[in-house]
Structure 1
Amino acid sequence: MNNPAGHSPAPLPALERDVSTPLHRQIYLRFRTAIEQGVLKPGERVASARSLASALNVARGTVEAAYGQLAGEGYLIARGPAGTVVSPALPARLVEPRRAAAGHVERGAAPAAPDVARMPPLLPLQLGVPAFDAFPRKLWARLAARRIRAIGVSDMDYGDPAGHLPLREAIAAYLGVSRGVPCSAAQVFVTGGYRASLALAARVLLEPGAQVWVEDPGFPPTGGVLGDAGMRPVAVPVDAEGLRVDLGRHRAAAARMAVITPSHQAPLGVSMSLPRRLQLLDWASRARAWIVEDDYDGEYHYASAPLPALKSLDGHDRVLYAGSFSKSLYPGLALGYLVVPQRQCQAFDAALRAGSNGCPQLMQAIVADFMHEGHFARHLRKMRLLYARRRAFLEQALQQAFGDAVAVALQGGGMHLIARFPGVQEGDAALARRAQTAGLNAQALSERCASAREQGLLMGFTNIASQVQARRVVKRLQAALAL
């Protein structure tokens, strides 16, 4: 971490490598706490990912995953060649000092937990979060209260590390009907989310050092998770039809896995074409490689019905389907799931029993009730209509404010749009920096590219509740960009 005078960055305390907390999570927690307690101040530059990775003896992707999460939550801002800094829009100190127990800090965690009541609010245009105002909280509270009242002695023990059986059954039923994924409950494994699912798949199916295709541009944490697991991510370009399988073969012919987002590519939003899907499945079958399908927001398709999952075309059982409740319900659940080929169920079950007590059973039971009683399907239908409207609010406000100076890319679905400013000389990183300084969480598309630097601002629209709010947010953006 650098001080304002530009001295060499002070190293973080040594990471705990013998605990369950992933390394990128440890780095994220320590930076977040340092920012919230005023140790790192607004505008202060932090170490580059390369130098910090070298100092901590971790993969560069591990640091980039931590920095990506911090940037996504509004703590850090990337300024291209000028480095990465603490967001100037943050107050100088977010939390009051706390007295920790004498000499005690939880291993693998930050020195002090943040005060949730004082956490920075959700910033306009933030990516990757559902519409919090539209979540059925009263219904959810009733289901939770019913479960708590009915809790018995058997509910107080550890549950099945593979997941609460009624939830696994509900997920299997939902996927078979809505996503075209035929599977049994035994093939569904409940995890702590996408990162946990990917780490589990890598640990069970791959040898250390294996090459894995990842999308370029792509979702930053993917490379970090794979790097932490000892794998070698290989960036493969994405075009209008999805992952370039031919370039993947050229760059890493011996790859053992590909991690893709075929329904709505993260972040470009394109859907993988049928010929490209068949090409990828053929590669996996011939190379005896695996495909992890991250269907992170596949439910949200506005032009037509949601596209069938890639897994529905998998005739050789090479695809693992990863889903999450973070986008469909809310991220605080920290629940995801992984559908694995039938012949791999025993290996995955053994891996979970050896290394995990599983996810909290009570929360899994509430989600299972929500699904079994039909609330989940109704909620998704409501959200599809709502997000289509909110996307239109933001798109129209951008067009009215910027006119021909902006080109808004609207794909078939997803939870964000891309606004490009083709006549502007500055790069998207500079524009994103201006927006973030004004308290708007637009992100630079180029920062998610490993090679070809595509330009554009990524803007989440899920929490744009009205036309009035959209105009107000875009007016702030227009003033910040000075276009």
Structure 2
Amino acid sequence: MIRHIDHAIIHTQTGKFPPVDTASTEPLYRQIYARFRGAIADGLLAPGDRVPSARALAEELGLSRGTIDVAYATLIAEGYFQSRGQAGTFVTPGLKPRLPGPAAVQPPAHAAGTVNMRPTSMLPLQMGLPALDAFPRKIWARLGARCIRATQIPEMIYSPAHGLHPLRTAIATYLQVARGVTCSPSQVFVTSGFRNTLELIVRALLNEGDRVWVEDPGYPPTRQLLQHANIAVTPVPVDEEGLVVAHGVRAASRARAAVVTPAHQSPLCVSLSLPRRLALLDWASRNQAWIIEDDYDGEYRYVSRPLPALKSLDRDGRVLYAGTFSKVLFPSIRLAYLVVPEAQVERFELISQIFSGGGPELTQAIVTAFLAEGHFARHIQRMRKLYAERRAAATSGLERALGAHMRIDPLPGGMHLILRMQGQGSDRSLAERIRSHGMFVHALTSWSITEKVEPALLLGFTNIDSESTAEKLGRRILKLI
């Protein structure tokens, strides 16, 4: 039997778990996780105590079984709970928890004026996170179980450095249909994320001292990685048509490469116009330079069909196309891909053999099945519809709370919003205050090299589930302005 526990987790009189706060911006699974962890810290749950089954607790609270499973899985992963199969779930025997002080949410670590782009917790308004509550976990689990059962001894050795051939084939097929990119499986290289992709490109095609165009404002890790590789970075401004190619030509016509986000410029979300695309390709062809196309969320466009990739216009083999599964599936999957020109396949095979560790074969096998069986395409379609709804709800709720102080840019696609600050003030200091209060936003000026951009806040909307939630978050921000 479980000992009765106070309001932190189970009501002292009835032994029932009190209702969760559905109006809170904190995810439901985090509320349940925090209650159990707090009860253990306070000694209300002792090592060896049995806790309610996930099914029973889900029925009692009127929540989905998946929500309880996520909370329990987190507690098990962190060592607080121990599952004993049919016997149930127990507080880990011998546990001596040492928990942090009263601050429930620590501000993300950052240094030298830069903000951590990959916080390990899930915070309200956080950019770069897909709608994790809408991910088809049951399908994923079924495919995972099937792949595990089918694992053979030869598949338990080192995985191929370039990626599993079936996955490379599935990616090539998807890109041809969905993004207009024609390539063979041999041109596709599976990586562990965009940073790993960019690192491979630097090692294969660039040398110390080479100059590379980067968008300004632009994704901070891009320029950070290039600078650490002793590559000279040339900031090129962005306007309503995307990268100002003419400026790049004037500033560094002999640059060796340009890193661009043509579908939805990161972070302004404008699309690179056709004349600019053609001008960029012409520059690369004339100067034997490379174009690195970062297509991080090109699937998510809400005003029209997704635009074809810049790579689809490449006739001279100058574009390297980088895609990722982090934004369309989930970040911890750590899988991305790179499509290289056919003439560069042998070079990249050599470089990846030296520097790539090869992704987990089981994960690659699951993604292959997810793609090949049509789940991926259906998931993208569902998410496109859901994000359009959540974007509208987030915009409406935030405008209701912040309309007198901020203006929300009308963006054609993407997974985040831009809140323009009305009047004078530092977006960096405001973003810092907001982060210190448990919400995760970025200052637009911190994404710029020249700082010639208007102050604004960047925030994700994909995990805002309703207009009322957005309004509550907006009112929390209002108190900090």
Normalised by the length of structure 2, the TM-score is 0.76
Q: Which residue of 2 aligns with 1:453?
A: 453
Shift of 1:468: 2.4
Q: Name the aligned partner's letter for residue 237 of structure 1.
A: P
Q: Which residue of 1 aligns with 2:85?
A: none
Q: Which residue of 2 aligns with 1:256?
A: 256
* 1:357-389 superposed Cα distances (whole Å, 9 cap, x missing partner): 311111101000000000000000000001111
- The alignment partner of 2:247 has SS state of helix
Shift of 1:225: 1.5
Q: Which is greater in Rg?
A: 2
* 1:371-409 superposed Cα distances (whole Å, 9 cap, x missing partner): 000000000000000111111111001221233432110
Q: Name the aligned partner's letter for residue 441 of structure 1.
A: F
Please state if 1:342 is matched with 2:406: no
Report the CA distance shift for 1:355/1:44 in structure 2 as closer, same or farther (over 3 A). Answer: closer
1 CA distance for matches of 2:261 and 2:107? Answer: 34
5 Å-filtered alignment, 1:262-273, equals 262-273=262-273
Contact 1:191 1:337 in 2 (8 A): yes
Q: Which residue of 2 aligns with 1:427?
A: 426
Shift of 1:126: 0.5
- The alignment partner of 1:126 has SS state of coil
5 Å-filtered alignment, 1:103-122, equals 121-122=121-122
Q: Which residue of 1 aligns with 2:394?
A: 394
2:112 is matched with which residue: 48, 59, 62? 48
Contact 1:216 1:448 in 2 (8 A): yes
Contact 2:107 2:435 in 1 (8 A): no
Report the CA distance shift for 1:242/1:44 in structure 2 as closer, same or farther (over 3 A). Answer: closer
Shift of 1:159: 2.2
Q: Name the aligned partner's letter for residue 164 of structure 2.
A: H
Report the CA distance shift for 1:438/1:356 in structure 2 as closer, same or farther (over 3 A). Answer: closer
Please state if 1:175 is matched with 2:175: yes
* 1:339-360 superposed Cα distances (whole Å, 9 cap, x missing partner): 0000100110111112233111
2 CA distance for matches of 1:456 and 1:418? Answer: 7
2 CA distance for matches of 1:232 and 1:197? Answer: 19
- The alignment partner of 1:270 has SS state of coil
Shift of 1:431: 2.2
Contact 1:72 1:126 in 2 (8 A): no
5 Å-filtered alignment, 1:365-404, equals 365-404=365-404
Shift of 1:466: 1.6
Please state if 1:416 is matched with 2:428: no
Contact 1:438 1:477 in 2 (8 A): no
Contact 2:402 2:474 in 1 (8 A): no
2 CA distance for matches of 1:374 and 1:71? Answer: 31
Report the CA distance shift for 1:157/1:45 in structure 2 as closer, same or farther (over 3 A). Answer: closer
Greater alpha carbon shift after TM alignment, 468-477 vs 453-462: 468-477
Shift of 1:37: 8.0
1 CA distance for matches of 2:173 and 2:118? Answer: 33
* 1:232-270 superposed Cα distances (whole Å, 9 cap, x missing partner): 121111111111111111221221000000000000010
Contact 2:106 2:438 in 1 (8 A): no
Shift of 1:141: 0.6
1 CA distance for matches of 2:297 and 2:409? Answer: 17
- The alignment partner of 1:337 has SS state of strand
2 CA distance for matches of 1:356 and 1:179? Answer: 26
Q: Which residue of 2 aligns with 1:442?
A: 441
Contact 1:72 1:441 in 2 (8 A): no
Please state if 1:224 is matched with 2:224: yes
* 1:144-185 superposed Cα distances (whole Å, 9 cap, x missing partner): 011111111111111221110111001000000100000010
Shift of 1:437: 2.5
1 CA distance for matches of 2:290 and 2:343? Answer: 13
Please state if 1:150 is matched with 2:150: yes
- The alignment partner of 1:151 has SS state of coil
2 CA distance for matches of 1:205 and 1:290? Answer: 8
2 CA distance for matches of 1:328 and 1:218? Answer: 21
Please state if 1:198 is matched with 2:262: no
Report the CA distance shift for 1:428/1:44 in structure 2 as closer, same or farther (over 3 A). Answer: closer
Normalised by the length of structure 1, the TM-score is 0.76
2 CA distance for matches of 1:261 and 1:415? Answer: 14
Contact 2:397 2:468 in 1 (8 A): no
Contact 1:180 1:308 in 2 (8 A): yes
Q: Which residue of 2 aligns with 1:123?
A: 123
1 CA distance for matches of 2:108 and 2:439? Answer: 19
Q: Name the aligned partner's letter for residue 169 of structure 2.
A: E
Q: Name the aligned partner's letter for residue 427 of structure 1.
A: S
The Cα RMSD (Å) is 2.1
Aligned length: 380
Shift of 1:448: 0.6
Shift of 1:479: 2.0
Please state if 1:316 is matched with 2:380: no
Report the CA distance shift for 1:407/1:72 in structure 2 as closer, same or farther (over 3 A). Answer: farther
1 CA distance for matches of 2:109 and 2:373? Answer: 50
Report the CA distance shift for 1:450/1:357 in structure 2 as closer, same or farther (over 3 A). Answer: closer
Report the CA distance shift for 1:44/1:413 in structure 2 as closer, same or farther (over 3 A). Answer: closer
- The alignment partner of 2:379 has SS state of helix
Report the CA distance shift for 1:349/1:387 in structure 2 as closer, same or farther (over 3 A). Answer: same
2 CA distance for matches of 1:321 and 1:45? Answer: 31
- The alignment partner of 2:293 has SS state of strand
Q: Name the aligned partner's letter for residue 450 of structure 1.
A: I
Q: Which residue of 1 aligns with 2:330?
A: 330
Q: Which residue of 2 aligns with 1:163?
A: 163
* 1:287-344 superposed Cα distances (whole Å, 9 cap, x missing partner): 1000000000001001111000000011111000000000010010100000000010
Q: Name the aligned partner's letter for residue 48 of structure 1.
A: A
Shift of 1:47: 6.1
Contact 1:398 1:406 in 2 (8 A): no
Contact 1:194 1:323 in 2 (8 A): yes
